[in-house]
A = this chain, B = another copy of it.
Amino acid sequence: MRVAFAGLGVMGFPMAGHLARAGHEVTVFNRTPDKAERWAATYGGRVAQTVAEAAQGVEVFLLCVGADDDVRQVVGEALTALPTGAIVVDHTTASAEVARELAAKAADCDVGFLDAPVSGGQAGAENGQLTIMCGGEPATFDKVQPLLAPYTKAIRRMGDVGAGQLTKMVNQICIAGLVQGLAEALHFAKRAGLDPAGVYEAISKGAAQSWQMDNRWATMAEGKYDFGFAVDWMRKDLGLVLEEAARNGARLDATALIDGYYAEVQALGGRRWDTSSLLARLEPPK
């Protein structure tokens, strides 16, 4: 299949690579051109100089960029060049509103649109083990699903356009509360003179168990916060969550507070630390 991929960050770079390795004809675009050149040298695809050039003649145009405004700009430009019947797949974590807005614009050009944010982090992108939450028409979803298989562990259509983004927001709300609980628990355990490794053995098989506890407790105990998904990105995602909650009337008391705690971590110099660094505002690293 002839496809284009815009946005070669820590997620997009390996995702586009999986498509090339699966035998698709991939053209890439990146705002910083040297990253695109490095990608082409690694995977052997073509580099476009503009989004419109990348979009010409492709069946599917994929993107994974920064935030709403980047999505607007890239999709807007792609729509000037995409052929009728093409499909845009947006892997960016963005608002449900921008998904609806761009799906309508795409429909005016007889182009399909799927919001398809992912979870699984950099490791999931590299190992082809991402979870993809999609919003859009069932027929559009069905057409695109086989293409995404090389980097997919699980994929699901959650509803109409925007439903993928809303599901990703639910995921981030869960993680915020979970990690704050874990941070306070570990902080308390250390103050109480307990051995964190022993506590993990004692409580990790019961009702307190979580993926975060299984994967972050030990590194948090050492004050190591360099495992991927960064605080800056989490704050962007929680910003989307809180804006959407203001619209749909959901009361997110703890989530709003934890967003503020992440702001404290940023102020401590932790913009690139991973999400488990909520502990750092209780125990600033030396």
One of B119, B169, B213, B252 near A206 (C-beta < 8 A): B119
CA distance A206 to B123 in the complex (A): 12
Complex-state Cα separation, A63 to B216, whole angstroms:
36
Task: Say yes or no: A131 contacts B202, CB within 8 Å.
Answer: yes
- In the complex, residue of chain B having the shortest beta-carbon distance to the beta carbon of A252: B184
Q: Which residues of B contact A222 (CB under 8 A)?
A: none
Task: Answer whether residue A203 sits at the interface, using C-beta atoms and an 8 A cutoff.
Answer: yes
A202 adjacent to B121 (CB under 8 Å): no
Known A181-B174, A192-B244, A211-B209; contact A198-B119, beta-carbon cutoff 8 A: no
B188 touches A169 (CB 8 A): yes
Asked if A255 lies at the interface with its beta carbon under 8 angstroms from chain B, I say yes
Q: Is the CB of A213 within 8 A of B174?
A: yes
| Copies of this chain | 2
> A82 interface residue, CB < 8 Å from B?
no
Partner of A251, one of B120, B210, B254, B282: B282
A146 within 8 A of B: no
A96: B residues at CB distance < 8 A: 192
CB distance from A103 to the nearest CB of B (A): 16
Given contacts A205-B153, A250-B184, contact A163 B210 (CB under 8 A): no
A198 to B154 CA separation, bound complex (whole angstroms): 12
The reply on A142 being an interface residue by CB < 8 A is no
In the complex, whether A207 has a CB less than 8 A from a CB of chain B is yes
Of the candidates B163, B170, B191, B203, the one whose C-beta lies within 8 Å of that of A250 is B191
A175 B207 Cβ-Cβ under 8 A: yes
Question: Would you call A104 an interface residue if the criterion is a C-beta within 8 Å of the partner chain's C-beta atoms?
Answer: no
Option from B185, B194, B210 in Cβ contact (under 8 Å) with A209: B210
Check A203 against B131 for contact (C-beta < 8 Å): yes
> How many whole Å from A216's CB to the nearest CB in chain B?
9
Contacts of A272 in B (CB 8 A): none
The reply on A269 being an interface residue by CB < 8 A is: no
Determine the chain B residues whose CB is within 8 A of the CB of A175 once the complex forms: 181, 207-208
A176 pairs with B166, CB closer than 8 A: no
* Residue pair B258, A191 in contact (C-beta under 8 Å): no
The reply to whether B192 and A248 contact each other, CB–CB distance below 8 Å, is yes
Residue of A156, A171, A245, A248 with highest tally of chain B CB at under 10 A: A171
Kindly state whether residue A86 has any CB partner on chain B within 8 Å. Answer: no
Residues of B within 8 Å of A188, CB to CB, are 169-170, 173, 241, 244-245, 248, 250, 252
Shortest 5 CB-CB contacts between residues of A and residues of B:
A177-B181, A210-B210, A174-B208, A191-B248, A209-B211
Given contact pairs A174-B208, A207-B211, a sample of 10 additional A-B residue pairs in the complex whose CB atoms are under 8 Å apart: A121-B207, A131-B205, A133-B202, A158-B199, A171-B207, A178-B181, A187-B251, A188-B241, A191-B249, A192-B250
